[in-house]
């Protein structure tokens, strides 16, 4: 099915562990984005990518790493998870950077 | 930089009209969007308006744009319990290749 998927949908991990959240889109959109959603903060942009091998920092990039070796995939890695990274993470894709974004269903991450 | 402001909460009775307001700072924004987020889901595009328009109507939804005051509103007529969700306003920044700027979202509660 065409669309944008995220995995896992739910994840519990311990402080200090490395965690990778996956995002896959089937539209061949050039742009992909990672957001985190927290109460009181709305959506905050972590990283985005304009194409394979091109990534840029967003508003809150510290503690996160991204890569984009293929157009359709945009994994987000927490190198050493902290409790402050407990959040709901959304991936999105778009044809243009300022254009309509299509969102995945989200990953709820809990860091204990 | 660009900023988008929304009130955080709105409560209405079923059958009444809901009006969700948004102010933005970039007077050169080309598109302004309204996204809807239902519980446990990602954001979905609800409607959008091009900056050269004052109003756009789509069934129960009416979008009003006041460019002079940089004010955007979303009116939902005959609000139903299924309209309970978080509504996000977003603007396309004029400053070249930068992503959409989202407001923090307005949580709409519909009382039966």
Which residues on chain B are in Cβ contact (under 8 Å) with A102?
45
Q: Which of B8, B42, B93, B95 best probes binding to A when mutated, by most A CB atoms within 10 angstroms?
A: B42
- What is the tens place of the pLDDT at every residue in A16-31? 999 999 999 999 999 9
- What is the tens place of the pLDDT at every residue in B24-54? 988 787 889 999 999 999 999 999 999 889 9
Q: Does A3 touch chain B (CB under 8 A)?
A: no
Q: Closest chain B residue to A38 measured between Cα atoms?
A: B104
Nearest-angstrom CA–CA distance, A37 and A16: 21
Q: Closest chain A residue to B87 measured between Cα atoms?
A: A42
- pLDDT value of position A1: 61
**pLDDT of B1 above 70:** no
Q: Does A45 touch chain B (CB under 8 A)?
A: yes
Average pLDDT score over residue span B82-100 = 86
Average pLDDT score over residue span B54-68 = 95
- What is the tens place of the pLDDT at every residue in A43-91? 999 999 999 999 999 999 999 999 999 999 999 999 999 999 999 999 9
Residue B54, CB half-sphere, CA atoms under 13 Å: how many?
1
Residues composing chain A: 112
B99:A97 CB<8 A: yes
Nearest-angstrom CA–CA distance, A52 and A69: 5
- pLDDT value of position A80: 97
Residue whose tokens read 């929304």: B6
Beta bridge partners of A44: A36
| Nearest residue, CB atoms, A33 vs list B45, B48, B99 | B99
- pLDDT value of position A27: 92
Closest to B10 in 3D by CA, of B91, B89, B102, B90: B89
For residue B48, give the 3-state DSSP assignment: strand
Chain centroid, CA B108 distance in Å: 11
Report residue B96's pLDDT band, with 50, 70 and 90 as the boundaries: low
A97:B104 CB<8 A: no
Mean per-residue pLDDT of chain A: 95
DSSP at A85 = G
Closest to B32 in 3D by CA, of B10, B9, B8, B56: B56
Q: Closest chain B residue to A47 measured between Cα atoms?
A: B99
| Nearest residue, CB atoms, A97 vs list B31, B41, B97 | B97
Nearest-angstrom CA–CA distance, B43 and B41: 7
Nearest-angstrom CA–CA distance, B45 and B39: 15
């Amino acid at each position: 099915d065409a669309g944008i998927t995220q995995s896992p949908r739910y994840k519990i991990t311990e402080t200090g562990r490395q965690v990778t959240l996956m995002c896959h889109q089937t539209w061949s959109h050039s742009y992909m984005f990672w957001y985190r959603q927290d109460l009181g903060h709305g959506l905050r942009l972590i990283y985005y990518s304009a194409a394979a091998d091109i990534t840029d920092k967003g508003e809150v990039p510290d503690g996160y790493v991204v890569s984009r070796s293929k157009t359709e995939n945009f994994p987000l890695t927490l190198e050493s998870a902290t409790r402050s990274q407990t959040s709901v993470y959304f991936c999105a894709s778009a044809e243009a950077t300022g254009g309509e974004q299509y969102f995945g269903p989200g990953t709820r991450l809990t860091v204990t | 930089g660009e900023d988008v402001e929304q009130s955080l909460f709105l409560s209405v009775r079923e059958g009444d009209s809901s009006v969700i307001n948004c102010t933005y700072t970039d007077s050169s924004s080309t598109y302004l969007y309204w996204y809807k987020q239902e519980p446990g889901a990602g954001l979905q595009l609800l409607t959008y308006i091009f900056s050269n328009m004052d109003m756009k109507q789509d069934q129960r939804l009416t979008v009003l744009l006041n460019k002079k005051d940089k004010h955007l509103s979303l009116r939902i007529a005959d609000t139903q319990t299924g309209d309970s969700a978080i509504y996000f306003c977003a603007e396309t920044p004029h400053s070249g290749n930068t992503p959409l700027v989202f407001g923090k979202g307005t949580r709409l509660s519909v009382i039966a």
